[in-house]
Each structure stands twice: as C-alpha cells, then as structure tokens.
Amino acid sequence: MSDVEHSYRQVLQDRRLAVLLGGDVASKIGDGMDVVALPLLALRIHGSVNPALAVGLISAAPYTLAVAVSLVFGLGRRRFRPRGLLMTDCLVRCVVLTGVALLALAGVLPLWALGVALFAGSGLRLLALSSRRLVAADLAGERGRFAVNGLLGTGDSLAVYVIGPVLGGVLATAVSPGFVLLLDGISFVGLLAAVRVAVPPGTSDPAEAATGPAADAASGWSILRRVPVAAWLFVVVFCFNLFYMPVEVALPLLVHGPLHADGTALGNIWTSFGVGALLGALCTGLLRRLPQTALLVGIIGGWGGAVIFLAAAPNVATAAVAFAVGGLIYAPFTPVAYSLVQSKLRPDQQQPVLTLWAAGSAVAAPVGLILAGPLVQLAGTRPSLVVSAALTLALVPAAAHARHRRSRRRLDDHPTPTLTGNQRVRGGA
C-alpha cells in the first residue's frame, strides 16, 4: 500500500468528485426509503395475493432482471460506457418510479403492475452501481482509489441504513408509500445532473470505441481465471455475503425467543448496527496505510467474532453492543475488497470483473436467505449464528494461504495497472 494514499478530505477537495458523491448519496437515500415504502405499498395493494408472498415478490423484483443483465456483461466480452449507462439508468428509474408513484397516489396501481415496473425499470441497476464506482475511482486517480471506495461505503451506510429507512418510515406513515416512491424518482434527477456536470465524457470508458466485443476483450470470468488473486477475492466476497445471511434470519427469532423482547428491541439492535456501520465507514479512510490483504483478513475474522458475541448475548443491551461492534467491523469490508481487486487489475480488466462482482454479491443474498431458513429451523437460533460465524472464520486461513501463494507467484498477464489519461493529467491524484 503506497504511503501517499489520499485521505477523505484530500479526495473531496476535487469539486467534481464532491458533486458526484453528493448526487450518489441523494439517490441512495431514496433507495433506503424504498426499503420501508415498497413492502408497505405491497401490503396496501396485495388484493387476493398472500401478503407475505406479495412483499417477497415486490422486494425481489428490482434485482431479478438486474442480476441477469450483469451476468451477461460480466461473463461476456461486451463492454459499456459507464458514464452513459449511469445516466441512462437515472433517467429510466426516474420515469418508472415517478410513474408508479403517481398511480399509487391516485389509487389505481395493481400489484402486478408494480412488480412488472420494478422488474423492467431496474434492469440496469447493478451495472449502474459498478459504473458509479468506476467513474469515481477514475476521477480520484490511483492514489485516491481507497478513499473514494471508502466514501462510497460511507454513503451506503449513511443513506441506506440510517437516513433512508427512518425518513421512509416517517413519510410513508404520515403521507403514503406512493409519496416516498415519488421522492425516490426525483432523487435520480439529482444524480443525473451530478453525473452530467461532474463526469467528463469518456471517463473510465473501455479502450474500444464500440460497445460490441473486441478482438482482445476478455470476459470477467476469463480474467478471474487468469488472475488468481482476483478470483480468490471474488470467492471471498461471495462467501462472506452468503455466510452473513443466517444472521438476518436468526436475529428476529433471537429477539422474540431467547431474549424475550419485542419489535422495538429488534429495531434498536438494527439501529445500533447502522450506527456502528456508519462509524466504521467514516473511519475506513484511516486504514489506508495498512496492507489491504491483511486488513481484509482481519475484517473477516473480526466479523466472525462479533457474530459469536451476538450468539452468546444474554440480553438486548448486549446484543445491541455486539451488533454495533459488528457494524463497525463490517463497514470497511466492501471498500477494502474493491480497492484491493482494482489494484490488481489493468484498467481495461476492471469493468467486466466489477460487473461480475456486483452480480455475484446480489446472488449471494437470496441464495443465503433461502439456505438460512432451514439452517435456523434445524439448528436453532443461537447455534445457527455460531454456524454462520464458523463458516465466516473458515475464510481466514484460506485468505492467508492465498496471500502466501500470491507472494510467490507473478503473472505475465497481470502487470501493475497503468494510469489512465485522466489520472496522468491529475498527477495520479
């Protein structure tokens, strides 16, 4: 890790990055509000459909097509222009969310129409998330990569876990869930304007001018096979997200069962996680001088320990402290993982790999939740948390072994990343 890595303050001195990150936070607050608003809207309009099934379908709709589209790009040789795709996604989601919001406010929105709109309108969602990271990292330059990934993680924690759900719950109760969706649609106007103003045309674009396959273009899967470090990181990220999911299933049962508490206590425990995650995200920039691989291993081990602490909690207060510590440790994981893999790939290799990563992370959540249900039912609440922690801790020796192998092996097709034209103009900053 270079000793000239930039801090949060240094990165934010770039007005273009500050504008882009501001627009990103605004749109993510809208997404955080939808976490509360969409289930409430589904319960209002479910009709003859089972309420639980309605909530599940509406919650899954925004990710189903998005995962398929990301896999097409991640596993194929086709490239896309991040700036243009991000602006297109903003425009599409603004129109779709505003449309369904107006129908909901008018009282004429059926459940099937909401599901279809979210399914089709979110097709570019995961590609857009990768595009935000690509253009932001390109604007920040090589020395600002770690800081900008940390700031993106801070925005996630602040908007999606803290501000968004609280604001969405208040507005959905005081006005209506449809009004919350309308605000989310409008939030994408802000991001669209931020991208238009802050991101120059051509930023982080592939080397090829066309978006079709190029003779020397490789798929994300091919790159992972040729760069073992990137493949290892992909497996670690996927498994880390997969092994986390039993916590989401077991926590409500832990609160209502062994801890003998109610929904308010569950909300307080999740709030403590959000506060811890926000603090962890804000402190991620302070970790920029540490070796990234060792840091990633430490985060994995620390999160596993926090889950064991949670499993052993005798009361709600202890569980809240355990989850707050877990959030503090968990928050830097994504910024560190993305910074590490970006440092191991050439600029032309990053787009397909990050796109594949986004799809893999999205797939890990539903697969993990599906497997977590039977696990919690068979093993019990506290034992299932211990199993989740043990599986997570099992990644630590694998990570250490992979790190040792990497130190002994050099790959001809994996040179040190070169600076893009934008980074050379900025002196690597």
Amino acid present at 142: E
Alpha-carbon span 127 to 340, nearest angstrom? 20
Return the number of other C-beta atoms located less than 10 Å from residue 254's C-beta.
24
Count of Cβ atoms closer than 10 Å to residue 177 Cβ: 26
pLDDT of residue 52: 67
40-54, 115-129, 349-363 — which one is most confidently predicted on average?
115-129
Judged against a pLDDT cut of 70, whether residue 328 lies above it is answered with yes
Question: pLDDT value at position 415?
Answer: 41
Which residue has better confidence, 213 or 239?
239
Report which residue type is found at 424. Answer: R
Q: Which of 347, 247, 245, 344 is nearest to 293 (CA)?
A: 344
**pLDDT of 20 over the 80 cut:** yes
Q: Is the pLDDT of residue 81 over 80?
A: yes
Highest mean pLDDT among 35-39, 52-56, 83-87, 143-147: 83-87
The domains located in the chain, with CATH, are 1-204 (1.20.1250.20), 219-407 (1.20.1250.20)
What proportion of the chain, given as a percentage, has pLDDT over 70?
A: 87
Burial 341-371 (b: 16+ CB within 10 A, else e): bbbbbebbbbbbbbbbbbbbbbbbbbebeee
Q: Give me 5's structure tokens.
A: 């890595």
CB-CB neighbours of 9 under 10 Å: 9
Query: What is the rounded average pLDDT for all residues in the chain?
Result: 81
**CB-based contacts of 397, cutoff 8 Å, min separation 6:** none
In this prediction, residue 309 carries a pLDDT of 96
Mean pLDDT to the nearest integer, 238-259: 87
Residue matched to tokens 């998005």: 66
Q: How far apart are the first and last CA of the chain?
A: 15
Q: Which tokens sit at 83?
A: 């700036």
Report whether 372 contacts 384 (CB < 8 A).
yes
**259, amino acid identity:** L
Amino acid at 116: V
Residues counted in the chain: 429
Q: Is the pLDDT of residue 215 over 50?
A: no
Residue type, 390: A
Alpha-carbon 398 to chain mean position? 23
| Of 146 and 409, the one with more pLDDT | 146
Tokens representing 218 are: 């490789």
Per-residue pLDDT, averaged over 106-125, amounts to 93
Which H or E run includes 320?
helix 316-330
CA–CA distance, 386 with 380 (Å, rounded to integer)? 10
Least confident of 14-18, 75-79, 110-114: 75-79
Phi-psi group of 153: left, alpha or beta (phi > 0 → left; psi -120 to 50 → alpha; rest → beta):
alpha
**Interatomic CA distance for residues 101 and 187, integer angstroms:** 13
At residue 324, does pLDDT exceed 90?
Answer: yes
Whether 420 shows a pLDDT value over 60: the answer reads no
pLDDT tens figures, 402-416? 555 554 444 333 444
